[in-house]
Chains A and B, each alone.
Chain A
Amino acid sequence: MSDRKIGDVILKAENISLSFGGVKALTDISLDVREHEIRAIIGPNGAGKSSMLNVINGVYTPQEGTITYRGEQRKDMNTYAAAASGIARTFQNIALFSGMSVLDNIMTGRNLKIKSSFVEQALWIGRARREEMENRKVVEEIIDFLQLQHVRKTPVARLPYGIKKRVELARALAAEPNMLLLDEPMAGMNVEEKQDMCRFVLDTNDQFGTTIVLIEHDMGVVMDISDRVAVLDYGKKIGDGTPDEVRNNPEVIKAYLGAH
């Protein structure tokens, strides 16, 4: 559908194992992500999808295995380092500042781009002022992109679920990420909201060339928009490949029918 070129592998997770006490969340998982692609991780409930995302993002440190991001191997990457290296994410359970307006929430995504000091910001002088204008412009472009103009000044708590999810995506985009991790972006949405979200994910990928890793429960959605899909079940990877390959993989069929 576009001239975006899927590039080299930029993130490589090798032999990742993660356990919480005696519970093994992930067992010996390896997967890679290529630049500019839409990469999905799917699986039934409790398959370890979110854990995998949290490992990539540096929230969890796996007991075994390595993560290589843009040629740099990191045993334990923390969240700050992940964000600074251009990885942004959304959460399965909406994690916005509910008392703040949509605009302010998205502005928080610009946090890492702000260089002015606390004092400058408090007095709104010098570069604080210039920075705010620059950042506001970027944020306004995202608001336009995700069609959030009508709720710009509305406190997030008053918004319907589908729009909140879009605000989360907006905040993640405000960081101008290279890689965007989306944790069940369509969970709990109605058909129309899902279609909107799919379009926004595809547009983001197309417009900004952002590499997207998304976790989804809904197979249908994933198959339509992803370039490659990895399937997890009980913490193990049981399939990986193009949507067509995955769809015809007997193990995947078994896992999905079993967990039906």
Chain B
Amino acid sequence: MKPSTQLSAESSAATAALPPLLAEAERAAASIWGVHGRRAAGSGETFWQYRHAQPGDALGSIDWRRSGRSDDLYVRETEWETAQNVFLWPDESSSMQFSSKGVQTTKGRRAAVLALATALLLERGDERFALMRADAGRIMQGRTGINRLSNLLSLPVDMRAETGTPPDSSFPMGSRALFLSDFFGDLDGLSKAISVAVARRVRGMLVQVIDPVEEAFPYSGRILFESIGGGLRYDADRAESLRDAYQEKLETRRTALKDMARQAGWTFAIHRTDTPPTPALMMIHQTLQAKRVSG
């Protein structure tokens, strides 16, 4: 057997056991209804609304048929149909490959599901999306894009960093970005990535995907904490005494993230893996739909 076929066989065997990512994402996205279009006037072909002509409107823009039925002049506006580019970054670092006992899914998978579900919703609005990955910056759209994205997210990642920072990406002007991560990585790197995006007038959202134990810190006794990759260790003689300090530090980090987002005009949200993905998806969707992403 050739090595390549063997590899693909192995990988499909590895993924076959999991529920297909796409199916899971579709299930999450299916529960969101009535979210259509941009709900804003713009260049497009779909009728959006009639409005009174205002001074400054081009004469050619007046809809005469409508205006003929009344005394006023109306302008026919079409819905804004310029396809948005949404850049998705589900963190795939090893720290995301963690689920505590009793939690069904790892943070990384939840991030991937959220990203893919978002992409599904975007595809419904004929919008475009891209996976922020060093090797895959291509903008995709349509059903083929979804499949491609699904494949990309399903592929095992060989080399994982301990924690993740968003990769460099050349955002088209005015695109959107969705960062799904636990944000345990270098905050400076994140800040740099955000400022690069902001410079391209990108608005976006930070979603901290976090495991319940990472919030609760339910440990006690002598515990040697190891990062998932094994590269980092912390020897706690009395873990229970660290709980307050840990939670305080986590809060500080969240505040820093929130500040960072506000300054960039982005949104910061928290999603725990023990809760269902749909509410988070709803929030993500609404945030990305909004004309102005409020900080």
Q: Do A and B bind each other?
A: no
